[in-house]
Amino acid sequence: MNAPQPPVSYPFSPSHAMKFGTPVPDMGSGPIPAESVTSAAYFEREREQIFKQAWLQVGRVEEIPNAGDYFTRELHVFKSNIVVVRGKDGAVRAFHNMCTHRGMALATEACGNTRGFTCEFHGWGFGLDGSLQAVPAIESFPGIDRSRLGLKALACDTWNGFIFVHWNPQPAQSLADFMGPLARDMDGFPFDQCQHIAHYTARVKANWKLSIDAFQEAYHATYLHRHAIPGAGDLELALPSSVRFYGPHRSVSCWLKTDIQPTPAEAIAYKHGSFGFVKADEGDTRGLNPSGDESWWFDINVFFPNFFCDLGRGWYFTYNFWPVSENDTIWNMNIYQVQAATAGDRLAQEFTRVVLRDTVFEDMSTMEFSQKAFDSGVITEQTIGDTEIAVRHQYWVADEWVNGRRP
């Protein structure tokens, strides 16, 4: 790590400068080669060196409140389907959803409740803890060691209700150590008081890192979001108010002009309800705005490699970016808001849902074109500006991990 850099000032922003809340790593400068978003060989190295070496967020505890509740997830990057289940002891565990006999899937529904997993193929039975408990006609398997044939586990742990798994059942680094100070900065946020208000997915023909890029810089907001967020068409907004780096993770705070005007309909809703998306100038600030920025709007928190947990006052949303191949990604978004007390609150929140969804439609309109440009070989590198420093950080960290280093 280098020493903290002095704040950068930009000619188009006389009143605001981009601050760094942490030391800025030496990430190099210059264009970023496009190979890491187009190469199948590079993606195979990412599969082994990044995704099988990092904690990955796969769900929330509210999805499986009771013993025996489970959900399954298709993890193409592992070439596996996993099942996450709450045991009789209350612990959440994760297993590869594969019978250890001949590989049949055990849970064939997206979610459910069960006393155990029985394979539909030959009837092998497994407990919620993964132990092999029943083998029909076990005498036909002379010398079988049931203790070696339990379900193949992944490491599983939680942070503020978010469930994470790790390919290695006994990873060298705990989830808490992996998430580090960024997670601790966010710990005060009232995650447990929030309600799930929206869930979106899309399969995007673009590299997972390229897809992430569209959501971790504000430079695009001034132009791309000039319709969805009236008032965003101001170049000063291109500047993050502050940026922080935490090992492989990063956090970018965005600011909002205080004189932004709600639309006529929003103005009525906001008279009666709080926690709107672009107007929430009072309320609980725990876990938010770690650099104490003025005119602060929200924090983009990116846990390497593929999980976002963006926090605002009274709301948060998450993204997961699940690679299928070097140019195929499943994008997943969930929006949560503090439980509404009145219909007025709920209608103010509805603007969050609709405005945010429309904004994401705009974000996602660009990435497949970029992927095609890089796949064509015509555009061979990405030119990155200083306000897009999170983009540079992502490619630098990914390349370090691919090469066996762990910043």
Partner 1 sequence: MTNQLPAAFADLEPFCAKWLRPTESQRNQVRISSDMAELRVFYDAVLPRFDAVIRHLNQFPLGDLPPAEQNLLNLSFAFVEATAPVERFNSPIVTKTFPPERFLIHEDLGRSGGW
Q: Does 261 bind partner 1 (CB under 8 A)?
A: no
Q: Which residue, 80 or 131, is less far from partner 1 as judged by CB?
A: 80
DSSP H helices in 125-204: 175-186
Please identify which residue in the block is written with the tokens 């929006």.
335
Instruction: Decide: is 322 part of the binding site for partner 1 (CB under 8 A).
Output: yes
Alpha-helix residue ranges (DSSP H) falling in 110-250: 175-186, 208-213, 221-224
353 binding partner 1? (CB under 8 A):
yes
The answer to whether residue 161 forms part of the interface with partner 1 (CB under 8 A) is no
For the stretch 229-236, contacts whose Cβ atoms lie closer than 8 Å and that sit 24 or more positions apart, written own/partner, are: 229/278, 229/355, 229/359, 230/260, 230/261, 230/263, 231/257, 231/260, 231/261, 231/278, 235/12, 235/13, 236/12, 236/13, 236/15, 236/16
Part of the chain binding partner 1 (CB under 8 A), chosen from 9-17, 65-73, 174-182, 251-259: 65-73
Among 269, 278, 288, 398, binds partner 1 (CB under 8 A): 269
310, 345, 388, 399: residue in contact with partner 1 (rule CB under 8 A): 345
If we measure between CA atoms, which residue out of 126, 116, 121 comes closest to residue 147?
126
Site string for partner 1, 202-221 (x = CB under 8 A): xxx-----------------
In this chain, which of 79, 90, 199, 282 binds partner 1, going by CB under 8 A?
199
Among 16, 19, 60, 86, binds partner 1 (CB under 8 A): 60
196 counts as binding partner 1 under rule CB under 8 A = yes
| Exposed e or buried b per residue across 238-254, where buried means at least 16 C-beta atoms within 10 angstroms of its C-beta | bbbbbbbbbbbbbbbbb
Nearest residue (CB) to partner 1, 59 versus 290: 59
Phi/psi of residue 403, nearest 5 degrees: -95, 15
- Residue nearer to partner 1 on the CB measure, 28 or 161: 161
* Minimal distance, residue 151 CB to partner 1, in Å: 20
Contact 166, 55 (CB under 8 A): yes
Choose which of 49, 291, 332, 370 interacts with partner 1 (CB under 8 A): 332
355 is a site residue for partner 1 (CB under 8 A): yes
Kindly give the interhelix angle for 264-272 and 343-363, rounded to the nearest 10 degrees: 140
Q: 189, 311 in Cβ contact below 8 A?
A: yes
Pick out residues in 109-138 that bind partner 1 (CB under 8 A). Answer: 110-111
Check residue 341 for interaction with partner 1 (CB under 8 A). yes
273 touches partner 1 by CB under 8 A:
yes
State how far the Cα of 404 lies from the Cα of 131, in Å rounded to an integer: 34
Distances (CA, A) of 318 to 20, 168, 188, 225, 293: 23, 24, 17, 19, 22
Contacts of 299 (CB under 8 A, 6+ apart): 186, 251, 252, 253, 254, 288, 289, 290, 310, 311, 312
Q: If binding means CB under 8 A, how many residues of this protein chain bind partner 1?
A: 58
| Residues in contact with partner 1, shown as a per-residue x/- string from 4 to 43 under the rule CB under 8 A | ----------------------------------------
> Is 195 among the residues that bind partner 1 (CB under 8 A)?
yes
Can you tell me which of 28, 261, 361, 381 binds partner 1, judged by CB under 8 A?
361
Binding footprint of partner 1 on the chain (CB under 8 A): 59-60, 62-63, 71-74, 110-111, 195-204, 224, 227-228, 230, 263-266, 268-269, 271-273, 320, 322, 330, 332, 334, 340-347, 350-351, 353-355, 357-358, 360-362, 364-365
